[in-house]
Copies of this chain bind each other. A is one copy, B any other.
Amino acid sequence: MPMISLAELQRRIDRGDLSADAAIAQSLEAIGAQDETIGAFVCHDPRARAAGAGPLRGIAVGIKDIIDTADFPTEMGSSIYRGWQPRADASVVEMLRRAGATIIGKTTTTAFASRDPTATLNPRNHGHTPGGSSSGSAAAVAAGMIPLALGTQTGGSVIRPASFCGVAAIKPSYRLLPTVGVKCYSWMLDTVGLFAAGVEDLAHGLSAMTNRPELLGDAAKTTPRIGLVMQEFAGAPEGSSGQALRIAVAAVERAGASVRTLAMPEIVAEAWRIHPVVQEFEAHQALAWEYRTHHDEIPPLMREKLDENVGIKPATYDEARAIANRARRALAKSFDDVDVLLTFSAPGAAPKGLASTGDARFNRLWTLMGVPCVNIPADVTDGGLPVGVQIIAGFGDDARALSAARFVEEALARR
């Protein structure tokens, strides 16, 4: 089933070619037809209806199940929260409602957005993981069930599953979207992001949620100056990701963009190395109650990681934060001569089987830097699986990240 374009749906609703309720009904039908196989939803509302007004009326949205909803349980992917019903909606859910969107259901998440896989299948190839931790959100959009979904990224949990499932996604600048009502793993890293069919769809969704028209990027499209970043500090990519990047570079150069290889300053590589210190130190604070009272109910990969990281010293964490601050300033200078960076979205295509959700090594630096990242599906087939490339802009420059990603997307479509 083809993906549903949010922007196209808006245009049809605006023109009167489709009623907002019919758009919602289309998503309900697609969920009914596909989700028994894919397993992207924890629960959904089969009687969902469209709102009467707002730029996102008629848009059915799936919400990762670590994000609080007043109308659906929020189970955090864990038996510890089985049947848990929050009192209030998270801020991002309210932003969607205010824009007229319909919250159609909750999407699967690895427990506490960590590493233990869900049973969700990759819609592109059922023998592969959809990635994690925002597994259900990526899969539901990829399968054509819904035009928009929310996920979160602490390491690579938005961009990586988007790459694996062949959908567009944005991890915006740190705190562009509030994390109030989102289960915390690491407060310095957790970032709410969006999944949609294409980059224009992301821009329409994010702009409507935040009431920031500049994110639509309808103004003069400029040809971006692109810095190519190989992230050598994160190890080498697999062949498919290397190929995706080469194809993207060739396509944007043909479209007139300048591409120069950029070496990251050493302090930025250092920030990549200390990301896990920040993440695991904060996780031990954020999930202290779960760790103390329900240790054995925490699933094995996450539990092992927490057990390994008991007792990180505050001084080690303080040093990691200082490195991150210095790296943010150094990275900002990289944008003096280029508009955006282009790099891998993931080490390769989605791994086979459901034992692992994949590796965040090409994502975690950018999460720690707080900069906006966009995944653009690249048309590289590796056993029928998509592979994405990632566009990154400076902190707060989400509009530029989206417009450059649109440029890359169009260049790839023309090749």
Give CA–CA (A98, B81) in the complex, Å: 22
A53 shortest CB reach to chain B, Å = 14
Give CA–CA (A242, B301) in the complex, Å: 59
A252 shortest CB reach to chain B, Å = 29
Residues of A bordering B, CB below 8 Å: 70, 81, 84, 87-89, 91, 93-95, 97-98, 175, 178-181, 184, 187-188, 210-212, 282, 285-286, 288-290, 292-293, 314, 318, 396
Write out the residue numbers on chain B whose beta carbons fall within 8 Å of the beta carbon of A187: 175, 178-180
Write out the residue numbers on chain B whose beta carbons fall within 8 Å of the beta carbon of A289: 70, 88-89, 93-94, 181
- Cβ contact within 8 Å between A81 and B91: no
- Please name 19 pairs of A and B residues whose Cβ atoms are closer than 8 Å in the assembled complex, sorted by A: A70-B293, A81-B87, A88-B290, A89-B289, A91-B288, A94-B289, A94-B292, A95-B285, A95-B288, A98-B288, A175-B188, A178-B282, A178-B285, A178-B286, A180-B184, A181-B289, A210-B314, A211-B314, A212-B314
Give CA–CA (A269, B45) in the complex, Å: 51
Write out the residue numbers on chain B whose beta carbons fall within 8 Å of the beta carbon of A175: 187-188
A89 contact from B95, B180, B288, Cβ within 8 A: B288
Write out the residue numbers on chain B whose beta carbons fall within 8 Å of the beta carbon of A88: 289-290
Which residue on chain B has the smallest CB distance to residue A175?
B187
A61 shortest CB reach to chain B, Å = 16
Q: Taking each of A91, A179, A181, A184, which has the highest tally of chain B beta carbons within 10 Å of its own beta carbon?
A: A91
Give CA–CA (A98, B291) in the complex, Å: 12
Which residue on chain B has the smallest CB distance to residue A89?
B289
Write out the residue numbers on chain B whose beta carbons fall within 8 Å of the beta carbon of A318: 396
A382 shortest CB reach to chain B, Å = 39
A97 contact from B91, B290, B292, Cβ within 8 A: B292
Write out the residue numbers on chain B whose beta carbons fall within 8 Å of the beta carbon of A178: 184, 187, 282, 285-286
A230 shortest CB reach to chain B, Å = 31
A101 shortest CB reach to chain B, Å = 14
- Cβ contact within 8 Å between A84 and B84: no
Write out the residue numbers on chain B whose beta carbons fall within 8 Å of the beta carbon of A97: 292
- Cβ contact within 8 Å between B180 and A94: no
- 6 extra interchain contacts, Cβ-Cβ under 8 A, other than A89-B288, A95-B285, A98-B288? A70-B293, A91-B285, A94-B292, A98-B292, A175-B187, A210-B314
A281 shortest CB reach to chain B, Å = 10
A239 shortest CB reach to chain B, Å = 41
Write out the residue numbers on chain B whose beta carbons fall within 8 Å of the beta carbon of A179: 187
Give CA–CA (A340, B73) in the complex, Å: 48
Give CA–CA (A284, B314) in the complex, Å: 34
Give CA–CA (A178, B188) in the complex, Å: 10
Give CA–CA (A178, B292) in the complex, Å: 17
Which residue on chain B has the smallest CB distance to residue A69?
B289
Write out the residue numbers on chain B whose beta carbons fall within 8 Å of the beta carbon of A288: 89, 91, 94-95, 98
Give CA–CA (A97, B314) in the complex, Å: 18
Which residue on chain B has the smallest CB distance to residue A68?
B289
Give CA–CA (A369, B313) in the complex, Å: 26
Write out the residue numbers on chain B whose beta carbons fall within 8 Å of the beta carbon of A93: 289
